[in-house]
Structure formats: structure tokens, C-alpha cells
Amino acid sequence: MAAGRRRAALKDRAPRTYRERAKPVKKGLLIVYTGEGKGKTSAALGAVFRALGHGWRVGVVQFIKGKWKTGESLFARGLKGRLDFFCMGEGFTWDTKDFKRDVECARRAWGKCMEMMLDARYRLVVFDELSYVLKYHFLPVGEVLAGLKKRPPQTHCIITGRDAPKELVEEADLVTDMRLVKHPYQEGIQAQLGIDF
């Protein structure tokens, strides 16, 4: 088969429900995984896995510190310089009685996010549970959106967490709302090693 015909045969002719652009556009995407169902952080970590496979440098900031050492943070220890992983939720007070302290903690974590975002060596950055600190007004959404706009044009950014504010959803290129259909928690089954943390 001649090269031209071979190329034509390989062309993707799948039906599309969206507008095709004349010229393919490559840009760093702003991706939001939100909703009540499980899978938001897992989806972000799936993208991290993929990006690392392409030799990209990846940065992760987790805004909430869980009870357990997560598999992802343990795994990242061996990948410093390729996957830089920061759990910055240490200071959050769950009963939000100390608003000032929560704001300071959120600000520290956001400072780390900005530092990574402005460093063009990172092709993908993940801000896990950032929506939590926006929901509780520990950080103004306007400031976060302005910061996101400063990242280099090729840097992809994934933000996770329930109740993503509408301003963030409007700004994002890709938004997936995880819908809760069933969760073992509803049957009294506790969080499981390797699946939940």
C-alpha cells in the first residue's frame, strides 16, 4: 500500500459528538474530578502513573492528611525527582474551630502548589482535595484560579475533591463527576488497604 493510502487508512474515523477542530490544539489541561462517588483521587493517580511512564516529572500536593500512610505516598518515596509527593494537610482541624490555623495550613499547601506549577519541569501537577479548602473558604477561589492561569501552557493540572466550586468547574477543560452508585461503606465495610489508601 502506498504511504499516502496507508496514512488515510489509519485515520481515525470514529463518529464524534463534539466539534472537530481544523488544527489539533495541544495545551495543558485543567482537569477536575469531583462528586460523591469513589474514584477521584484514584483517577488522578492513574494519570500520574501514565505520565511517569512517559518520563514526565510529576508533582502531587495532598491537602488532607488521612489516618493512614497511603500506598501512593509510600510508593512516591522511591521516586523523588520523578514524582514529588507532598502531604500538606497536617494542620487541618477537622471541627474547623480554628479557622485561622486552617487558613494558614491551606496557604502553606497552596504555596507549594504554586511553586510546582511555576516550575516548567513538572508536566503534570495534582492538587488532591483542593476543593475541600475552597469549600470551607480557607482559600479564596479567585486566588486559586488566578494562580492556575500562571502555569506554563503545557502543564496539566488535576484537581480532586467533592463539591468543586462552580467557578472552578467553569474554568476547567475536563470535569468528571463521580456518581455514587454503591460503596462498601454503606454495608459497614471499612476502608481497605490497597484499595482505599
Footprint of ligand ATP on this chain (CB under 6 A)?
A: 36-42, 160, 162, 178, 180, 183, 185, 191, 196-197
Give the nearer residue to ligand ATP in terms of CB position, either 41 or 155.
41
Please identify which residue in the block is written with the cell numbers 516550575: 119
Q: Which does 99 bind (CB under 5 to 8 A by kind): ligand ATP, Mg ion, none?
A: none
Q: How far is the CB of 43 from ligand ATP (least distance, A)?
A: 7
Nearest of 186, 161, 187 to residue 172 by alpha carbon: 161
3 state DSSP class of 114: helix
Q: Taking a C-beta distance cutoff of 8 angstroms, is the pair 178, 34 a contact?
A: yes
3 state DSSP class of 175: strand
Give the nearer residue to Mg ion in terms of CB position, either 105 or 158.
158
Q: How far is the CB of 64 from ligand ATP (least distance, A)?
A: 7
Q: Which does 177 bind (CB under 5 to 8 A by kind): Mg ion, ligand ATP, none?
A: none
Q: How far is the CB of 148 from ligand ATP (least distance, A)?
A: 20
Q: Which does 196 bind (CB under 5 to 8 A by kind): Mg ion, ligand ATP, none?
A: ligand ATP
Question: Residue ranges of the alpha helices (H) in 64-117?
Answer: 71-76, 99-117
Q: How far is the CB of 178 from ligand ATP (least distance, A)?
A: 6
> Quick one: the chain helix, strand, coil %, rounded to 5?
40, 15, 45
Q: In DSSP terms, which residues pair with 160 in a beta bridge?
A: 33
Q: In DSSP terms, which residues pair with 126 in a beta bridge?
A: 60, 158
User: According to CB under 5 A, which residues from 33 to 62 bind Mg ion?
Assistant: 40-41
Q: How far is the CB of 197 from ligand ATP (least distance, A)?
A: 6
Give the nearer residue to Mg ion in terms of CB position, either 1 or 193.
193
Q: Residue 156, exposed/middle/buried by CB under 10 A (0-12, 13-18, 19+)? A: buried
Binding site for Mg ion (CB under 5 A): 40-41
